[in-house]
Chains A and B, each alone.
Chain A
Amino acid sequence: MADEIIHDHHHDGIDRRGFLKCMAWAGTGVALTFSGGVVTSHILGQGVAAAPATGDFTFVQISDSHIGFHKAPNTDVTATFQQAVDKINRLPTPPAFTLHTGDLSHLQKLDEWDTLDQLLKGAKGGEVFFTPGEHDVAVDNGKSYLTRYGKGTTGEGWRSFDYKGVHFVGLVNVLNLKAGGLGYLGPEQIDWLKQDLAGLSSSTPVVVYAHIPLWAVYPKWGWGTDDSEQALALLRRFGSVTVLNGHIHQVLHKIEGNITFHTAYSTAFPQPAPGTAPAPGPLVVPAGKLKQMLGIHEVSYRVSQNALAIVDSTLG
């Protein structure tokens, strides 16, 4: 597993083999660094760290905490969430903020959200920006979620902010879902995104986060977003776009031009690799293996290289 993959997405010799390897299901930690057009991938522990410079920062993505889930392979999702919090608290560079990419709760119960909020109080991960998963909104199309977690957002929970020269956009693709469809952004949100991006120079690094993947991972299991192409079309002019998603409880990467897609581990339970099971239910793994399939996503931005380094780090 000690392979290093260089991706060059500026047309001078794209490494197709590396691309495919990178798309393969990654059971262990993988770090991606991208600088200019070149993406380097390391297996964790091979040292992507460099001395931090002024303007550098780190943030954390956590996802799919599913507080309230209590079945195989994880009967104690609060314990594994606590381990994720411990991991955040031990990071060498304290995160500037944390993104939670949805499915905070399992059954959209207030006490599940209470538990999550309580656990997050112990995290030294800065402010937490949430975007919902379908488990947070299905009961009332997001009403109670937005009341609780929607502060500072516009529309139905959309948010953008700038941090040290990087533009962050939180999208919501789990509301107003249509029978027979996948994730859905909707025309109002796409219009808002268009206006949000309009004033930005194409050299601004952009990070987009949402629950359901914004690329067709496996539509048969609902792992895609019907109208994501309309959003991606607005992002293609930027030199560096990083898309962070959850929902599929496993780490996948894909590179498409200047857009790099990443999905994050869950802190609760893993799901099968696309098409390897009859359905995308929880993947039941032996107790000793569970912590190797749960984790957090640590993202470091290095201003000197205009680069984001992403480390998927497991709980065990």
Chain B
Amino acid sequence: MMEHGAPRTGPETRASRRWLLAGLAGMTAFFGAAVAERATSSHASTAGTPAVVATPSPQASPAASPMASPAVANRVTISNFAFTPATIEIAAGTEVTWTNQDDIPHTATSNDGKTFTSPLLDTGDEFHQRFTKPGTYPYHCALHPFMTAKVIAR
């Protein structure tokens, strides 16, 4: 079992949905109550009022933001049932953003089951998690546990 524990301040979690398609607009977001029980701190997960934040889409505006570049070291792409990069190294205090580009939902769920858990991420959904404390954080997809990866915060 991992001994790094949760960052003392608690992981800061927020999830956002990119409203790229009108067809997505009618969908309600996420599973507030269930997630709120598991994430120690999450303003995405207040039941009934998920924090839905419009963020720039790397696909829609590749040159608009430095965040759009795949070279930026705080972004993990979920594509073809894999996390890329499989190991992401960040400075402690950095917020990591996961984006699901598959047509099947995935999650980013810490292997200890409590440090962080994203909601079910549908196509285009993002999940943000700040790692305030140095450590190695292995995680997987709760639906497809053969999908494994890790965050290393230095």
A residues at B contact (CB < 8 Å): 70-72, 106-109, 111, 134-135, 138-140, 143-144, 177-182, 219-222, 278-282
Let me know if B145 and A178 touch, CB within 8 A. Answer: yes
Interface 0/1 of B113-128, CB less than 8 Å to A: 0000001101100000
Q: A177 — which chain B residues lie within 8 A by C-beta?
A: 142, 145
When A139-B35, A139-B120, A143-B34 are in contact, do A282 and B145 touch as well, CB less than 8 Å? no
Within 8 Å CB of A144, what residues of B?
34
Are B111 and A179 in contact (CB-based, < 8 A)? yes
Q: List 9 A-B contacts (CB under 8 A).
A: A139-B119, A143-B34, A177-B142, A179-B148, A219-B146, A221-B146, A281-B80, A281-B103, A282-B104
Interface residues of B in 64-87 (CB under 8 A from A): 80-82
Tell me the complex Cα distance, A299–B102, Å: 34
Q: How far is the CB of B125 from chain A (nearest CB, A)?
A: 10
B-side binding surface: helix, strand, loop or mixed? loop
Contact B81 A281 (CB under 8 A): yes
Q: For A134, what are the chain B residues with a Cβ–Cβ distance below 8 Å?
A: 142-144
Interface residue B50 (Cβ < 8 Å from any Cβ of A): no
Complex contact A108–B81 (CB within 8 A): no
Residues of the B chain whose Cβ atoms lie less than 8 Å from the Cβ of A221: 81, 146
In the complex, whether B31 has a CB less than 8 A from a CB of chain A is: yes
Of the residues A71, A108, A138, A181, contact of B123 by C-beta under 8 Å = A71
A107 pairs with B120, CB closer than 8 A: yes
Contact: B146 with A140, CB < 8 Å? no
Give complex CA distance A222, B146 in Å: 6
Which B residues between 25 and 65 are near A, CB-CB below 8 angstroms?
A: 28, 31, 34-35
- B34–A140 touching, CB < 8 Å: yes
Interface residues of B (CB under 8 A from A): 23, 28, 31, 34-35, 80-82, 102-105, 107, 111, 119-120, 122-123, 138-140, 142-146, 148
CB contacts (< 8 Å) of A70 on chain B: these are: 23
Is there contact, CB below 8 Å, between B146 and A108? no
Partner of A181, one of B31, B105, B146: B146
9 tightest Cβ-Cβ pairs between the two chains A and B: A279-B80, A179-B140, A140-B34, A279-B81, A138-B142, A177-B145, A134-B143, A179-B111, A139-B31
Chain A residues contacting B144 (CB-CB under 8 Å) are 134, 222
Does A179 contact B119, Cβ atoms closer than 8 Å?
Answer: no
Min C-beta distance of A161 to chain B, whole Å: 29
Contacts of B35 in A (CB 8 A): 139
Alpha-carbon distance between A109 and B142 when the two chains are bound, in angstroms:
16
CA distance A278 to B104 in the complex (A): 14
Give bound CA distance, A174 to B63, whole Å. 41
Q: How far is the CB of A19 from chain B (nearest CB, A)?
A: 28
User: Which residues from B are CB-within-8-Å of A71?
Assistant: 103, 123
- On whether A281 and B34 interact (CB within 8 A), knowing A138-B120, A180-B140, A222-B144, the answer reads no
**A135 B143 Cβ-Cβ under 8 A:** yes
Selected from A106, A107, A108, A222, the residue in CB contact (under 8 A) with B145 is: A222
Contact A180 B122 (CB under 8 A): no
A180 touches B34 (CB 8 A): no
- Chain A hits for B103, CB < 8 A: 71-72, 281-282
**Which of B82, B111, B122, B148 contacts A107, CB < 8 Å?**
B122
Interface centre among A135, A138, A219, A222 (most CB of B within 10 A): A138
| Nearest-neighbor residue (CB-CB) of A222 within chain B | B146
Contact of B138 among A107, A179, A222 (CB under 8 A): A179
Residues of B within 8 A of A106 (CB): 105
Other A-B contacts than A138-B105, A138-B120, 18 sampled, CB-CB below 8 A, are A106-B105, A107-B120, A108-B120, A134-B143, A135-B105, A138-B107, A138-B143, A139-B34, A139-B35, A140-B31, A177-B142, A179-B139, A179-B148, A220-B146, A222-B144, A278-B80, A281-B81, A282-B104
